[in-house]
A and B are shown apart, each in its own frame.
Chain A
Amino acid sequence: MEILFEEQNDTLMILLRGELDHHNSLAGREKLTLKLSQKNYRRLIFNLEGLTFMDSSGISFIANGYKLASVFGTEIYVYTTNQRYLRILNMANMRELCTILPHGKELCKLWKF
Chain B
Amino acid sequence: MEILNEMRLMFLSKSENESFARVTASAFISPLDPTVSELVEVKTAVSEAVSNAVIHGYDKTVGVITLEMRIFSDYTVEVTVTDSGKGILDIEKAREPLYTTKTEEERSGMGFTVMESFMDALEVESEPGKGTKIFMRKRLHPTHT
Q: Which residues of A contact B (CB under 8 A)?
A: 19, 21-23, 26, 29, 53-57, 59-60, 63-64, 67, 84, 87-88, 91-93
Closest Cβ neighbor of B47 among chain A residues? A55
Chain B interface extent, by class: 20 to 34
What is the predominant secondary structure among interface residues of chain B facing chain A? helix
Contact between A19 and B44, CB atoms less than 8 A apart: no
Closest Cβ neighbor of A91 among chain B residues? B113
Q: How far is the CB of B3 from chain A (nearest CB, A)?
A: 28
Most chain B beta carbons < 10 A, residue from A19, A22, A29, A53: A22
Contact between A21 and B19, CB atoms less than 8 A apart: yes
Contact between B110 and A56, CB atoms less than 8 A apart: yes
Contact between A22 and B18, CB atoms less than 8 A apart: yes
Q: Is residue B15 contacting chain A, with contact meaning CB distance below 8 A? A: yes
Report the Cα distance A55→B111, complex, angstroms.
Answer: 8
Contact between B108 and A92, CB atoms less than 8 A apart: yes
Q: Is residue B2 contacting chain A, with contact meaning CB distance below 8 A? A: no
Q: Which residues of B contact A (CB under 8 A)?
A: 15-16, 18-19, 22, 37, 40-41, 43-44, 47-48, 51, 54-55, 97-98, 106-108, 110-111, 113-114, 117
Contact between A91 and B15, CB atoms less than 8 A apart: no
Report the Cα distance A29→B108, complex, angstroms.
Answer: 14
* 15 more CB-based (< 8 A) A-B contacts, given A21-B47, A22-B47, A91-B97: A21-B22, A23-B15, A26-B15, A55-B44, A55-B47, A55-B48, A55-B51, A55-B114, A56-B108, A57-B108, A84-B40, A84-B41, A88-B110, A92-B98, A93-B98
Contact between A22 and B55, CB atoms less than 8 A apart: yes
With a CB–CB cut-off of 8 A, which chain A residues contact B43? 53
Contact between A53 and B108, CB atoms less than 8 A apart: no
| Cβ-defined partner of B110 (8 Å) among A23, A59, A84 | A59
With a CB–CB cut-off of 8 A, which chain B residues contact A19? 19
Q: How far is the CB of B7 from chain A (nearest CB, A)?
A: 21
Closest Cβ neighbor of B15 among chain A residues? A23
Report the Cα distance A110→B97, complex, angstroms.
Answer: 31
Report the Cα distance A92→B113, complex, angstroms.
Answer: 9
Closest Cβ neighbor of A90 among chain B residues? B117
Contact between A21 and B106, CB atoms less than 8 A apart: no
Closest Cβ neighbor of B52 among chain A residues? A22
